[in-house]
Amino acid sequence: MFLERFLKSRVLVSLVFSSVVELLPLSCIGCDIPGWYLWVSLKNGIIPYLRCAALFFHYLLGVTPPEDLFTNSAEGEYSALCSYLSLPTNLFLLFQEYWHTVKPLLQRWCADPALLNCLKQKSTVVRYPRKRNRLIELPDDYSCLLNQASHFRCPRSADDERKNPVLCLFCGAILCSQNICCQETVNGEEVGACIFHALHCGAGVCIFLKIRECRVVLVEGKARGCAYPAPYLDEYGETDPGLKRGNPLHLSHERYRKLHLVWQQHCIIEEIARSQETNQMLFGFNWQSL
């Protein structure tokens, strides 16, 4: 039994290695790579993709995953993923039974310019798990943002008129909002700096903080948006829209976490629709000029 597995592993290694060497330049891969290293690398490289495939399979068909997937064993995870996706747990069988499907994929992978650049150490390699995107870090004291806004200068205007600096919570950029000086043209229509920034920063969906008003604004597209409670509270646990009371404000990490979940769970559009249903005045605001 051991001899049979050993011979199968040697056949698999020879099959895959010969295909890779045939497709990749000799300068990118050495011929002295041990078989066990290629075997382990193949298995470790397959696991991240199998995880994504298992998640897609679960949410597409609603099939309950096995309990083995919740263990911390790497070897057990690989076997459980293959079993859940009805794939052979033996890599030799995987390549042997699906070789006509695997070989074209292997050829495309070896011919990918990004792969060649990585092998030649001209670019960085993506590591798993990737770091999750987060909203920018905000200062604990709101006066820090006010000081930052006081030093803001519109890049397109040198006059002394009052500006409305707005902070993008996705990337941290400060924009000149609701001013003609920073308007851009998109598909023949004039849009404000925030809407134009949202198209490039969040594919049309974005979260902004109006610094001089202490208001959070959610936008979607060029004509939809709504206000959202700011994550800054005074000593009484209340927000201060428009900074009318003038009480010192400090960051509420719980509120900011909720705002982060609204973005991370793709609920911005839903939140805008809910706000527009309850507040008809939102339809009268010209979001396109934001």
User: Is the omega angle on the peptide bond into residue 165 within 30 degrees of 0, that is, cis?
Assistant: no
Whole-Å CA distances, 5 to 79, 94, 125: 17, 14, 32
Please indicate, yes or no, whether residues 282 and 148 belong to a single structural domain of this protein. Answer: yes
Asked if the structure places residue 267 within a domain, the reply is yes
Please indicate, yes or no, whether residues 146 and 242 belong to a single structural domain of this protein. Answer: yes
Please indicate, yes or no, whether residues 187 and 94 belong to a single structural domain of this protein. Answer: no
Please indicate, yes or no, whether residues 149 and 280 belong to a single structural domain of this protein. Answer: yes
Question: Does pLDDT of 4 surpass 50?
Answer: no
Please indicate, yes or no, whether residues 163 and 101 belong to a single structural domain of this protein. Answer: no
168 vs 197: CA distance, rounded Å: 9
The 10s digit of each residue's pLDDT in 239-257 is 878 878 878 889 999 999 9
pTM to 2 decimal places: 0.59
Give the other-Cβ count within 10 Å of 190's Cβ.
13
Task: With CA atoms as reference, report the closest residue to 175 among 147, 156, 202, 203.
Answer: 156
Q: Number of structural domains, the chain?
A: 2
Q: How confident is the model at residue 285 (pLDDT cuts 50, 70, 90)?
A: low
Please indicate, yes or no, whether residues 149 and 116 belong to a single structural domain of this protein. Answer: no
Question: Does pLDDT of 230 surpass 70?
Answer: yes
Supply the range of the domain harboring residue 95. 1-120
